[in-house]
Amino acid sequence: MKNHNPVIKFEDVAVRYRVPHEGFSGIKEYSVRLLQRRVYYEEFWALRGVSFELNGGDVFGIIGRNGAGKSTMLKVMARVLQPTRGRVVMDGHTAPLLELGGGFHPELTGRENIALNMALLGFNRRQINELFDSVVDFSEIPEFIDAPLRTYSTGMIARLGFSVATCQRPEILIVDEVLSVGDVQFQQKCLDRMLAFRQSGTTIVIVSHDLGTVQSFCNQVMWLDHGEVQVIGEPEEVIEKYIHLDSPEQVPKVIDSSTMQEKYVELDPKLQVYSARTIFSPNEGTVTAWVKINRNNRVGSAVLFHTEDSRFVLYTQIHIDPETSRPYYQFTARAGGNQRTSDKVNATFPEVSTKYFIDDDTNEQWVHLAMTWDGYPQGQLNFMLDGTSVGVHKYSKISNDDQPLPSALSVGMRPLTWPGERILEADGSFTFRRPDSKSSIYDAQLELKSVHLYKEKLSIDEISEIYKAGQVKQS
Amino acid sequence: MNNLQKQSLQSDEYFDSASRPSPIVEEILALIKYRELVYQFVSRSIKTRYKRSVLGVFWTLLNPLLTMIVLTIIFSQVFRFSVDNYPIYVLCGLVIWNFYSNATSGAMSDMLWSGSLLGRIYIPKSVFAVSAIGTGLINLLISLIPVFIIALVLRVQITPAILVMPFSVFLLAIFSLGFGLTISTAAVFFGDMEPVYNVLLMIWFYATPIIYPIDVIPEQFQWLIRFNPLFYFLTIFREPLYNGTVPDLSFWVISSLLALGMLVIGAYTFTSRTNEYAYRI
């Protein structure tokens, strides 16, 4: 019996990618550089000394940030990559589920593609003939089977791909985040099949960002970061460590607003993430805050308030005025939109910005900011600085993508789960950008105080009062 | 689900990266295991070539024929050498050349363009070269039909010597496989291998006596031709049909050595280096 020997074994496995430096790619260039002794590669170690063992029937989850090396590990298991160092043992037939429909050819029919993909998985003619019908049945598309694949929807292709890849119970199954395709019934079918495999002793390795699935499905979890194993253990334990150690400030705090006395919620001004559910409403609201800026600051760019989806943001940047060489802070408030819309002049968010020069005789100064909004996806943004309005902006639904509204918001930084800036180009296409996400008040050496979030829109007078009251406290 | 239970899954597949057989042995064993894949690649190639074009089948036949017609018209006038039955002479060369150039450059580009596949699933990378050769052989066979028809029409003497032609093709196939594997390996490291090889093929075409007889080359330069491996393979293919004679033993010996040598070189460089490919995708 093989039961006492591990089914999968990694011994100090390291994987190095090589990217040619300075981008030479041709024979002529190579020869020239060889003569000049300038040929060298940039090395990137995707895995650094990973070791673990799995037994038959284990369900092993691998979690970690993007770029941590999870896909590389799966590739080593699937024999797509050889380890640069160390040893890998895979005892048993290994079926990879790394991308459904990867080997499909659009011109061939479903039938022909099944045969092709089974051949890609290493099946011989006899096995293909035996298992063919069960593949067609499981994928639930028998009437399309003789149509060319280019006529299939992505859901159908995924179904076919899963069907082919799992037509025979493998001893080891490697899954890379493929289960989010297809309709709910089919997803359930896939999960059922995987569960049946597990029951019969298949060892399953699964990479996922869905920590819920990982926790319920796996009996062992590994947290991988920068190619190194951080911890291996019980799912709950590892997942908790992952959340807390990897990004401690990212665990959203929940505030029960029903117990509040006042009209607002006081947010902790030190790098916090909050669950938006009970405290934030996109239809109407106000944010007020005091921020301390200083003259000598060179970094100075910071996010003060940020909903997860970038629709409601308060941030600041420091610039030098070209004419006078004086530094100034640019405060910006954004409400109601997370998409830059091309408006003939330049791509812009629904924002209001204002310049603020620090008084000459001080180094540090407290500034009061207030932003109000009403309406979503149509509405108006009001921005106030030191009790006075500095701008108004009307926004409409063209500034919004179709993503659901934010479930979290952050103070003093951007939430790590921020998806990036989506920019709607004039021709209707989208580009994506993720500017430096290091802009926290900590990096910028700014300070926040009295960050208040209201579920209603305050009037200019009310805000002016708040400013004056707060000012008294300053002096 | 019944199939799943019926299948007995105590397979003897065991992979240990620290104790693998030699790369060549491993590749050959994998190739045998994945032979169905070679069949699928070849059949996919042939099908996609012919499926959506009515001319597809005829094009394989027409291509060398049209070229032959053009070349015959030009060269039998321009060069003013008289080669008996020039059409057959040039057709043999063209058909062999097409096989060789398509098989070798196909081997290389099939592998290069399959990066997305190789990044997701393990297959023995030599399937690309092997199936390129296989596809080439089938296309060669199809294109021989009009060659023989024309030979008959032109009253070329067809002798039993043509029975050696399968062996000529076999030796050339071996050589092509070795060469295809070698340039595929080079292509992993040098991004401009494809266009470079195309230029090389162009020169090579003229360095091989396909459209001209060897006598046209001045004595002092004839040795250049003899350093061209394709000269030998071309001769052992063309002579039996064109001359009706079996070529001299020396040609067979040289061709066999070339084929075997190239195969060994190709097998060795390919299996020892192509793992790098996965690191560079």
DSSP string, B103-168: HHHHHHHHHHTTHHHHTTS---THHHHHHHHHHHHHHHHHHHHHHHHHHHHTT----GGGGGHHHH
Does the pLDDT at position A120 exceed 70? Answer: yes
Whether chain A has a CB inside 8 Å of the CB on B59: the answer is: no
Confidence at residue B188, expressed as pLDDT on a 0 to 100 scale: 84
Contacts of B40 in chain A (CB under 8 A): 115-116, 119-120
Q: Are A232 and A221 contacting, i.e. CB atoms less than 8 angstroms apart?
A: yes
Q: Do A112 and B17 touch (CB under 8 A)?
A: no
The better pLDDT of the pair A462, A363 is held by A462
3-state secondary structure at position B15: strand
Does the pLDDT at position A62 exceed 80? Answer: yes
Domain ranges within chain A, ordered by starting residue: 56-85+93-248, 257-474
Confidence at residue B10, expressed as pLDDT on a 0 to 100 scale: 53
Contacts of B279 in chain A (CB under 8 A): 15-18, 81
Contacts of B11 in chain A (CB under 8 A): 92-93, 171
Confidence at residue A382, expressed as pLDDT on a 0 to 100 scale: 94
Q: Which of A24-28, A87-91, A415-419 has the lowest mean pLDDT?
A: A24-28
CB-neighbour burial class of residue A71 (10 A; exposed 0-12, middle 13-18, buried 19+):
buried
Confidence at residue B16, expressed as pLDDT on a 0 to 100 scale: 87
Does the pLDDT at position B101 exceed 90? Answer: yes
Does the pLDDT at position A343 exceed 60? Answer: no
**Mean pLDDT computed over A69-81:** 89
Mean pLDDT of chain A: 81
Q: Do B191 and A25 touch (CB under 8 A)?
A: yes
CB-neighbour burial class of residue B84 (10 A; exposed 0-12, middle 13-18, buried 19+):
exposed
Q: Identify the helix (H) or strand (E) that includes residue B66.
A: helix B55-78
Q: Which of A275-284, B52-61, B101-110, B261-270 has the lowest mean pLDDT?
A: B52-61
Q: Do A89 and B17 touch (CB under 8 A)?
A: yes
Nearest CB partner across the interface for B275, out of A19, A82, A169:
A82
Q: Do A27 and B121 touch (CB under 8 A)?
A: no
Does the pLDDT at position A4 exceed 80? Answer: no
Q: Are A290 and A304 contacting, i.e. CB atoms less than 8 angstroms apart?
A: no
Q: Do B9 and A121 touch (CB under 8 A)?
A: no
Kindly report the nearest CA distance between residue A15 and chain B, in angstroms. Answer: 9
Whether chain A has a CB inside 8 Å of the CB on B46: the answer is: no
A257-474 maps to which CATH number? 2.60.120
Confidence at residue A158, expressed as pLDDT on a 0 to 100 scale: 79
Residues 6+ apart with CB under 8 A from B179: B104, B262, B266
Which residue of A79, A105, A123 is the best one to mutate when testing the B interface, meaning the one whose CB has the most B CBs within 10 A? A79
Cα–Cα distance, A184 to A117 (Å, whole number): 25
Confidence at residue A20, expressed as pLDDT on a 0 to 100 scale: 56
Size of interface A-B (CB pairs under 8 A): 137
Q: Do A18 and B279 touch (CB under 8 A)?
A: yes
The better pLDDT of the pair B107, B87 is held by B107
Q: Do A169 and B196 touch (CB under 8 A)?
A: no
Q: Are A449 and A470 contacting, i.e. CB atoms less than 8 angstroms apart?
A: no
Does the pLDDT at position B235 exceed 90? Answer: yes
The closest alpha carbon to A217, from A179, A259, A164, A269, belongs to A179
Q: What is the bridge-based pairing of β-strands A421-424 and A339-342? A: parallel
Does the pLDDT at position B142 exceed 80? Answer: yes
A241 alpha-carbon distance from chain centroid: 19
Tokens 């063992």 map to which residue?
A53
Confidence at residue B49, expressed as pLDDT on a 0 to 100 scale: 72
Tell me the per-residue pLDDT of A286-307, one tens digit each, with 9 for 90 and over. 999 999 888 776 666 788 999 9
pLDDT band of residue A24 (cuts 50, 70, 90) is very low
Tokens 């003013």 map to which residue?
B80
Confidence at residue A390, expressed as pLDDT on a 0 to 100 scale: 93
Q: Which of B2-11, B29-38, B98-107 has the lowest mean pLDDT?
A: B2-11
Which residue of B12, B16, B36, B128 is the best one to mutate when testing the A interface, meaning the one whose CB has the most A CBs within 10 A? B36
Does the pLDDT at position A342 exceed 70? Answer: no
Q: Which of A22-26, A206-210, A275-279, B240-244 has the lowest mean pLDDT?
A: A22-26
**Burial state string for B28-38 with b = 16 or more CB within 10 A and e = fewer than 16:** bebbeebebbb
Confidence at residue A23, expressed as pLDDT on a 0 to 100 scale: 45
Cα–Cα distance, B45 to B37 (Å, whole number): 12
Does the pLDDT at position A41 exceed 70? Answer: no
pLDDT band of residue A159 (cuts 50, 70, 90) is confident
The closest alpha carbon to A113, from A124, A103, A126, belongs to A103
Q: Do B17 and A87 touch (CB under 8 A)?
A: yes
Which residue of A93, A105, A138, A162 is the best one to mutate when testing the B interface, meaning the one whose CB has the most B CBs within 10 A? A93
Confidence at residue A245, expressed as pLDDT on a 0 to 100 scale: 64
Q: Which of A123-137, A235-249, A347-361, A445-459 has the lowest mean pLDDT?
A: A235-249
Does the pLDDT at position B247 exceed 80? Answer: yes
Q: Which of A320-334, A378-392, A414-428 has the highest mean pLDDT?
A: A378-392
pLDDT band of residue A475 (cuts 50, 70, 90) is very low
Kindly report the nearest CA distance between residue B268 and chain A, in angstroms. Answer: 18
pLDDT band of residue B73 (cuts 50, 70, 90) is confident
Q: What percentage of chain B has pLDDT greater than the value 90? A: 46
Confidence at residue A40, expressed as pLDDT on a 0 to 100 scale: 57
Whether chain A has a CB inside 8 Å of the CB on B35: the answer is: yes
Q: Which of A166-170, A263-267, A309-313, A422-426 has the lowest mean pLDDT?
A: A422-426
Q: Calculate the alpha carbon distances from A243 to A208, A226, A247, A416 in Å.
A: 14, 16, 6, 12
Does the pLDDT at position B84 exceed 70? Answer: yes
Q: Do B51 and A91 touch (CB under 8 A)?
A: no
Confidence at residue B6, expressed as pLDDT on a 0 to 100 scale: 42
Kindly report the nearest CA distance between residue A164 and chain B, in angstroms. Answer: 13
**Closest chain A residue to the Cα of B196, Cα to Cα:** A27
What ipTM was assigned to the predicted interfaces of this complex?
0.84
Tell me the per-residue pLDDT of A348-405, one tens digit each, with 9 for 90 and over. 888 999 999 887 777 788 999 999 999 888 899 999 999 999 999 998 888 887 777 7
Q: In what order do the strands lie in the sheet with A447-454?
A: A264-267, A447-454, A284-294, A364-374, A379-385, A388-395
Domain A56-85+93-248 CATH class label = alpha beta
**Mean pLDDT computed over B5-18:** 66
CA distance between the termini of chain A: 81
Confidence at residue A101, expressed as pLDDT on a 0 to 100 scale: 67
Which residue of A22, A43, A81, A197 is the best one to mutate when testing the B interface, meaning the one whose CB has the most B CBs within 10 A? A81
Mean pLDDT of chain B: 85
Does the pLDDT at position A161 exceed 90? Answer: no
Length of chain A: 475
